[in-house]
Amino acid sequence: MTYHHLSVLIHRQAEKYGDKVALKYRDYETSQWIPITWNKFSRTVRQAANALVALGAEEQRNIGIFSQNKPECLFTDFAAFANRLVTIPLYATSSSAQAQYIINDAQIRFLFVGEQFQYDAAFSAFGFCHSLEKLIIFDRSVVRDPRDKTSIYYDEFLALGEGLPHNAVVEERTARASDSDLANILYTSGTTGEPKGVMLHHFNYREAIRIHDIRLTAMTDKDVSMNFLPLTHVFEKAWTYFCLHRGVQVCVNLRPADIQTTIKEIRPTLMCSVPRFWEKVYAGVQEKIAQESGLRKAMMLDALKVGKMHNIDYLRAGKTPPLMLHLKYKFYEKTIYALLKKTIGIENGNFFPTAGAAVSDEICEFVHSVGINMVVGYGLTESTATVSCFLDKGYEIGSVGTVMPDLEVKIGENNEILLRGKTITTGYYKKPEATAAAIDKDGWFHTGDAGYLKGNHLYLTERIKDLFKTSNGKYISPQALETKLSIDRYIDQIAVIADQRKFVSALIVPVYGLVKNYAKEKGLEYKDMADLLQHPKVQALFRARIDTLQQQFAHYEQVKRFTLLSEPFSMERGELTNTLKLKRSVVAKNYKELIDKMYEE
């Protein structure tokens, strides 16, 4: 595959594909998907690149993009690369204070904002950001603050580049663009401390694309990818660049909550997702099986059994399934599996990369049994995403796949996973101490994740920094327990508590709808959700479900007491990061009284 530097990628693809559709986005007024051809993509990028020169953007300086996923994010990215600028994405859910920290840390002059929420957060931070000169607003329906005298809308910004008045400057800058240029600074919304800006250079992306070309051979320019995770996240960002490099059509999903609708409208062949997406699919199927009876129930259970034998016991191991098993599988493929995939919207599925958290063995087995090719992987912002991922055959359930080509992985002290290679960051922006702590003198990056290698298969055991030590001196891994328990259809969110405590407890956010259904079935009376969650029958239901799921854990690792919460953990209260990971210290502080109560004698 020919690799084109990201500064020229879109133009080279336009020469190859012309009026073929490159991107699609949803018009919410008409509920229609609007196509953007490669030619139009290329023209818009050129115009935006000229507009950046008109604004006074200088080479190797930082610009920010603070938006939900929109085609404008990509126009701006590639226009910036043409000018040798560095783009810094901010999570669309960031607060004003978070935005202010990043703008000041990176000395951002121009910030592109998406919708009203991002505009409001950015504008209220404006006075505290001395480097910030201008907001450029993607969404025309955003209402500007009456005091705002500097912001412009994206169409006004593009008008500055109409007729390409500064093309000579852009061309000259693009000619100087090199692999050693900085491409992005990605701020990780760490679960502790202030965010760190991970520097990713163009050589990091070149290498990431090269090793994915070797690994992901099933992908072609006939594929359609649903861009669902935030483009701020390295997983989706690097994946989208890779899709564009392979000529794949990218459909941009604006609002994460809309995925159930948009996936059925697009019916993609590819989509990056997090395990939570598949956990919900699994819970839905379990729910359906629980409601069925007689022959239909027996068939559904048999379909899962047959799928497991066919796909996992035989195909995965590189063996040919017996004829009768194969015929049964084919029957279910046309009936039960087909219906399931169509219901989700993935009946055209090719493969589905999944990472960002641990995937439980049950979920992994289930998804593969019904013939969905979920490519489980592991990666970090600091490694330009993928460190390892499943192969089509020979993947090991419980592992995070096989190490990517030409990436060095070794296991260090405390079983820590160490990485070395061309996809690894050179360090954290303006943070020499943090960089020195993460990358040792031999160039090994310390991930903070513990694991082991079995051949070329990588297994994760726990996040070293997240290990809890009980007051009895026993170490427990909260993620392992949380991953196991969160597959239960009644559990939406869970925070395991154990650090410096004498036993393990948990705060649980239930799936409220299912608890209400249960109350209706059992004829339970209650005033409100808080009252219902205290009901002895509801408490007993959760106790039984937790005990069933935690059997394989050692006695000291099991949840002894739990509290059901009547409202979910939230980003507003700082309990979740932008990538929806738990901030354990904030949860411990916010729920101190409830937690202490679980430890009363």
Cα separations (Å) of 435 from 18, 383, 389, 432, 440? 43, 14, 26, 5, 9
Give the span between the Cα atoms of 601 and 593, in whole angstroms.
14
Residue pair 471/500 in contact by the 8 Å Cβ criterion? yes
At residue 190, the pLDDT reads: 60
Task: Give the CATH fold of the 9-177 domain.
Answer: Rossmann fold (3.40.50)
pLDDT of residue 441: 96
Distance CA 42, CA 37 (A): 9
- The pLDDT, as a whole number, for residue 389 is 97
Residue 504: both structure tokens together = 């393990």
Task: Determine contact, residues 390/376, Cβ cutoff 8 Å.
Answer: yes
Which are the contacts of 88, defined by CB distance < 8 A and separation ≥ 6?
62, 63, 64, 65, 102, 106, 108, 184, 185, 186, 187, 197
pLDDT tens across 215-232, in order? 999 999 999 999 999 999
Low-confidence residues in the chain, pLDDT < 70: 189-193
Residues 575, 580, 584, 585, CA torsion sign: negative
- CA angle 342/348/351 to nearest 5° reads 115
Which pairing describes strands 110-113 and 134-137: parallel, antiparallel, or unpaired?
A: parallel
3-class DSSP assignment, residue 183: strand
Q: Where are the alpha helices (DSSP H) in 377-506?
A: 432-438, 478-485
Write down the pLDDT at residue 349: 97
> What is residue 515's predicted lDDT score, i.e. its pLDDT?
97
Task: Give me the residue spans of the domains in the chain.
Answer: 9-177, 467-598
Per-residue model confidence (pLDDT) at position 302? 97
Question: Which H or E run contains 528?
Answer: none
**CATH, domain range 467-598:** 3.30.300.30
Q: What is the pLDDT of residue 547?
A: 95
| Predicted pLDDT at 199 | 98
Q: How far apart are CA 39 and CA 11, in angstroms?
A: 8
Q: State pLDDT tens for residues 468-495.
A: 888 777 878 888 899 899 999 999 999 9
Measured CA distances, 547 to 537, 544, 555 (Å): 15, 5, 11
